[in-house]
Structure 1
Amino acid sequence: MNESAPKRLTLVSDAWHPQVNGVVRSIENTNHELEKMGLTVTMITPDLFRSMPMPTYPEIRLALATYGQIARKIEESAPEFVHIATEGPLGFKARRYCLKNGMRFTTSYHTRFPEYVAARLPIPKDMLYGIVRRFHNSGNGCMVATDSLARELETRGIHNLMRWSRGIDNALFHPRRKSEAPFGGLKRPIFLTVARVAVEKNLPALLALDLPGSIVVVGDGPARRTLEEKYPNVHFAGMLQDEALAKAYAEADVFVFTSKTDTFGNTIIEALSSGVPVAAFPVTGPSDILGGHEQAGALDDDLSAACLKALECSPEAARDLALTYTWEAAARQFYDNMLVAHGP
Structure 2
Amino acid sequence: MRIMLVTDAWEPQVNGVVRTLSRTVQELREMGHDVMMVTPNDGYKTIPLPTYPEIKMALFAKDDIEERFEAFEPEAVHIATEGTLGLTARRICIQHRFPFSTSYHTQYPEYVSARFPIPVSWGYAYVRWFHNMAGRVMVATPTMMELLVSRGFKNLAMWSRGVDTDLFNPALRQPDRGPFSGFQGPIHLYVGRVSVEKNVEAFLACNLEGTKVVVGDGPARADLETRFPEAKFLGAKFGTELASCYANADVFVFPSFTDTFGLVILEAMATGTPVAAFVAPGPKDIIPGSGAGAIGPDLTASIKTCLTLDRAAVRQYAEGFSWRACAEQFLTNLDPLPAMERYKTWNRVKNALRRRRKPA
Q: What TM-score results when the alignment is normalised by the length of structure 2?
A: 0.91
| Residue 8 of structure 1: how far off its partner (Å) | 0.5
What's the CA shift string for 1:187-243, capped at 9, x where partnerless? 110000111111111000101112010001111112111211111111111111111
1:334 and 2:330 are equivalent in the alignment: yes
C-alpha distance 342-306 of structure 1, shift in aligned 2 (>3 A):
farther
| Residue 342 of structure 1: how far off its partner (Å) | 3.7
Unaligned runs of 5+ residues in structure 1 are 1-6
8, 26, 29: which one aligns with 2:23: 29
| Residue 87 of structure 1: how far off its partner (Å) | 0.6
1:316 and 2:316 are equivalent in the alignment: no
Which residue of 2 is the match for residue 190 of structure 1? Answer: 187
Structure 2 contact 2–76 (Cα < 8 Å) conserved: yes
Residues 273-288 of structure 1 mapped to structure 2, 5 A cutoff:
273-288=270-285
Which residue of 2 is the match for residue 3 of structure 1? Answer: none
Which residue of 2 is the match for residue 172 of structure 1? Answer: 167
Which residue of 2 is the match for residue 132 of structure 1? Answer: 127
108, 130, 150: which one aligns with 1:113: 108
188, 197, 201: which one aligns with 1:200: 197
| Residue 343 of structure 1: how far off its partner (Å) | 5.7
Structure 1 contact 218–237 (Cα < 8 Å) conserved: yes
Find the residue that maps to 2:82 and give its secondary structure: coil
Amino acid at match of 2:313: A
Residues 41-190 of structure 1 mapped to structure 2, 5 A cutoff:
41-48=35-42, 49-176=44-171, 177-180=173-176, 182=178, 183-190=180-187
d(CA) in 2 for partners of 1:112, 1:181: 35
Amino acid at match of 1:333: Q
Q: What TM-score results when the alignment is normalised by the length of structure 1?
A: 0.95
d(CA) in 2 for partners of 1:342, 1:124: 38
Find the residue that maps to 1:233 and give its secondary structure: coil
d(CA) in 2 for partners of 1:181, 1:252: 8
Find the residue that maps to 1:52 and give its secondary structure: strand
| Residue 68 of structure 1: how far off its partner (Å) | 2.4
Find the residue that maps to 2:280 and give its secondary structure: coil
d(CA) in 2 for partners of 1:170, 1:241: 15
d(CA) in 1 for partners of 2:289, 2:338: 36
Which residue of 1 is the match for residue 346 of structure 2? Answer: none
Residues 220-235 of structure 1 mapped to structure 2, 5 A cutoff:
220-235=217-232
d(CA) in 2 for partners of 1:342, 1:122: 43
Structure 2 contact 142–158 (Cα < 8 Å) conserved: yes
| Residue 134 of structure 1: how far off its partner (Å) | 1.3
Structure 2 contact 177–248 (Cα < 8 Å) conserved: no
260, 263, 266: which one aligns with 1:266: 263
Find the residue that maps to 2:123 and give its secondary structure: helix
Structure 1 contact 44–73 (Cα < 8 Å) conserved: no
d(CA) in 1 for partners of 2:216, 2:11: 15
d(CA) in 1 for partners of 2:338, 2:202: 46
d(CA) in 2 for partners of 1:338, 1:161: 12
Output the aligned Cα RMSD: 1.3
Question: Which deviates the most, 114-123 or 72-81?
Answer: 72-81
Unaligned runs of 5+ residues in structure 2 are 340-360
d(CA) in 2 for partners of 1:181, 1:285: 28
Which residue of 1 is the match for residue 358 of structure 2? Answer: none
Structure 1 contact 59–221 (Cα < 8 Å) conserved: no
Amino acid at match of 1:42: M
Larger radius of gyration: 2
Which residue of 1 is the match for residue 347 of structure 2? Answer: none
Structure 2 contact 8–55 (Cα < 8 Å) conserved: no
Amino acid at match of 2:270: S
Structure 1 contact 181–187 (Cα < 8 Å) conserved: no
d(CA) in 1 for partners of 2:153, 2:15: 24
Structure 1 contact 65–90 (Cα < 8 Å) conserved: no
d(CA) in 2 for partners of 1:151, 1:315: 32
d(CA) in 1 for partners of 2:177, 2:41: 41
